[in-house]
Amino acid sequence: PAHRSRRAPQTPLARGGRERSGMQQVLRQIQEAVEPVLERSLTKRRRQEFLASAGPLFLCLTFIEDALRVLLRWKEQMSYMTVTMRMSGWLGGLLLIFSLVTQMTGSVLVLRPKEVKPSRVKVGCYTLLAFVFLQPFMYGQARDADFMCRSVTLAGGLLLLIWSENDRKQRSEDMGLPSGMESTSSDRLQLCGRVLLTFLFFFQAVYSENGGMHRLWTAPSLFGLISFVVLAGLAGMVCAGFKTEWSALLLCGILFLSNLYMYPFWSIREGLRDFYRYYFFQTLSIIGGLMLLALHGPGGISLDKGMKKAI
């Protein structure tokens, strides 16, 4: 009879090797397809274009949301001013109108197209800064440490936007001042905004109920230790101007994820929804300030710049 060759039976090891080889080939194909997209989308120029558009928009979101709430829920706002704050009807109404007009005007001036001349970004920022200063006293939140830290952090973001506008004008036209004098003044403004922008993170690193330093003493946990080290470390890097772009972007990511976890206003009962919505959009505005810092850099008074200028 004719001889028929028989193929040796496949062992599990051989089958596993071929499966791993096939998986590696699939992963390699995915990598080859994704890498060009990432290289095109994550270039420095694309990143800067995104930050330049998203930073001011995010920074103004809390003001726009608060102004629309005054307009759309007028009766509830009046009830708070007259019952909780014990103001007269005319004074409460006047303050609410002031809140609405100030926030919408400042936001429109900041966000209007750059093609519209002359630029009124600085006027809008100063308008919003005035409201940030008055808001805790208008709504009786001056003794709330968390609210005050958030207000100070928002002010830091607005100062960074003012600094970026000054820097843009300085680059585009002759300001008529000695460059050293103007640069030093600009760097001080940038340093002030950068320091104020980190207030909330230092506060959360020390006092947060979900991982602040005091929790390490009352209820020690690995999560609490990691939260404190990461928040304090990144806030310190931003404050000192060390690896500023990436530390600011990393804080943006952490803050965005924690915002979704801590303030999901869309799934909260009606009684707390306004509170959660306000803090959600306020956190987005703080992210906008961090975006501006990542875009424009830490300025001259920073570790990244080698402390070239004296304070």
pLDDT of residue 5: 46
Rg (CA), the chain: 26
pLDDT of residue 212: 53
**302 vs 94, higher pLDDT:** 94
Three-state SS for 238? helix
Selection from 79, 75, 78, 138 nearest residue 103 by Cα = 138
Q: Which of 37-41, 108-112, 187-191, 229-233 has the lowest mean pLDDT?
A: 37-41
pLDDT of residue 73: 92
Please give the Cα distance from 132 to 125 (Å, whole number). 10
pLDDT of residue 124: 95
Selection from 254, 309, 311 nearest residue 283 by Cα = 254
Please give the Cα distance from 307 to 250 (Å, whole number). 23
Mean pLDDT of 113-131: 89
Please give the Cα distance from 107 to 104 (Å, whole number). 5
What value, to the nearest 5°, has the Cα angle with vertex 186 and ends 182 and 191?
Answer: 150
Tokens representing 262?
């801590």
pLDDT of 101 above 60? yes
Share of the chain above pLDDT 70, in %: 76
Taking only the tens place, the pLDDT of each residue in 8-49 is 555 554 555 555 566 667 667 776 666 566 556 667 788 888
pLDDT of residue 231: 81
Contact 161, 110 (CB under 8 A): yes
**184 vs 92, higher pLDDT:** 92
From its phi and psi, is residue 10 left (phi > 0), alpha (psi between -120 and 50) or beta? beta
Contact 115, 87 (CB under 8 A): no
Three-state SS for 14? helix
| Cis peptide bond upstream of 118, omega within 30 | yes
Q: Which residues contact 168 (CB under 8 A, 6 or more apart)?
A: none
pLDDT of 271 above 60? yes
* Average pLDDT of the chain to the nearest whole number: 81
Please give the Cα distance from 174 to 31 (Å, whole number). 49
pLDDT of 108 above 90? yes
Mean pLDDT of 294-303: 84
Selection from 168, 73, 193 nearest residue 114 by Cα = 168
DSSP-assigned letters across all residues of 159-174: HHHHHHHHHHHHHHS-
* C-alpha of 30 from chain center: 32
Distances (CA, A) of 56 to 49, 61, 64, 143, 160: 12, 9, 12, 29, 10
| CA atoms within a 13 Å half-sphere pointing along the CA-CB vector of 154 | 29
pTM of the model: 0.79
Mean pLDDT of 112-130: 88
Selection from 104, 80, 172, 128 nearest residue 289 by Cα = 128
**207 vs 199, higher pLDDT:** 199
pLDDT of 183 above 70? no
